[in-house]
Structure 1
Amino acid sequence: MKLMFASDIHGSAPCLEKLFERYEAEAPKKLILLGDLLYHGPRNDLPEGYAPKTVIRMLNEHKKALLCVRGNCEAEVDQMVLEFPVMADYMTMWLGDRMVFCTHGHLFDPDNMPLLNYGDVVISGHTHLYRAEEKDGIYIVNTGSVSLPKGGNPRSYVIYEDNKFTVKDMDGTPLSVLTLR
């Protein structure tokens, strides 16, 4: 099964449009959004093309393709305008015999991990820095940011397919690959 993960849209309509272009090109089963969909937050500058009402419309048009968790910028008012659930702090899914713990990254992160077993995966956003590595038998993946990357990183998202998590830039070029053993 092919899945797409992305985070930190922060209300940028052109960045979300580019993400949906990549979604069409990649053709995954689902797009899992890991929070910070509409608001840019007080610590961030306004992203390119900041237009939360446009982002709301675009997301609602794709609601059947989406699974989402809450970021630190989501509020109850966001749930009032979005036609799909966005307020869960985390989501778990199974890929074969391993659990994948999906979260934004502000509550759970590599320094405050959820209870996982050897070989499980935690995937998040929040830091705006992409990451794909194994640490102490746990696979750690960070999507980076669709709109406001940090640390000189490009805008990015993640594809899961064939037992691999691949971080890609918004042109679809692989940046990092993590193969699950």
Structure 2
Amino acid sequence: MKLMFASDLHGSLPATEKVLETFAGSGAQWLVLVGDLLNHGPRNALPEGYNPAAVADLLNSVADNIIAVRGNCDSEVDQMLLKFPITAPYMQILLEQQRLFVTHGHLFNPENLPPLAPHDVLVFGHTHLPVAQKRDGLYFFNPGSVSIPKGGFDASYGILNDGVLTVHVLNNNRVIAQVEITP
């Protein structure tokens, strides 16, 4: 199963357009949205092309292929605009021999772990910093942010394909972080 991950869209229409274009060409079965979809939040500047209603319309066009979790900037009002559920604080995606625990990162994160088995993957966003690493028998994966990247990184997204998690630059697909997950 091939998955694409995007986090922290924050209502940016150009970033969402690029994400959906990338998803359409990726061959991924599911687009996993790791929270903070429509609103920029009080600590962030407005992203380029801020248009939450248009972002909702675009995401709704692929609603059947979205798995999403709630970010700290997502609300029940946002859910009213979206045709796919976003109010769960986490989702679990089961692979053959391990699971992906998908959460935004404001509740569960590498410093505040949920219950995980050895070799499980914590997928999170929130920090806007790309991560793909193994530490203490667990895997940590953050696709970065497609709209408001931080830490000097470019806007980025993630892919899981053939047991490898990669973070790619959104505009040119260059790999900036990678880890092979093994059970």
Q: Is TM > 0.5 for Structure 1 vs Structure 2?
A: yes
Task: Tell me if 1:31 matches 2:31.
Answer: yes
How far has the Cα of 1:20 moved from its partner?
Answer: 0.8
The AA in structure 2 aligned to 1:23 is F
2-structure distance, mates of 1:55, 1:148: 15
Q: State TM-score, norm by structure 2.
A: 0.97
1:36-67 deviation line (CA, Å, top 9, x unaligned): 00000000000000011110110111111111
Runs ≥4 residues deviating over 4 A: none
The number of residues matched between the two structures is 181
Task: Tell me if 1:53 matches 2:22.
Answer: no
How far has the Cα of 1:172 moved from its partner?
Answer: 1.3
How far has the Cα of 1:147 moved from its partner?
Answer: 0.2
**Which runs of 5 or more structure 2 residues have no equivalent in the other structure?**
none
Task: Tell me if 1:95 matches 2:122.
Answer: no
Partner of 1:75: 75
2-structure distance, mates of 1:174, 1:24: 19
**Which runs of 5 or more structure 1 residues have no equivalent in the other structure?**
none
Partner of 1:116: 116
The AA in structure 1 aligned to 2:168 is K
Task: Tell me if 1:22 matches 2:22.
Answer: yes
Q: State TM-score, norm by structure 1.
A: 0.98
Give the % identical residues. 49
SS in 2 for 1:22: helix
1:157-179 deviation line (CA, Å, top 9, x unaligned): 11000100011011211111100
Root mean square deviation, CA, Å: 0.7
SS in 1 for 2:53: helix
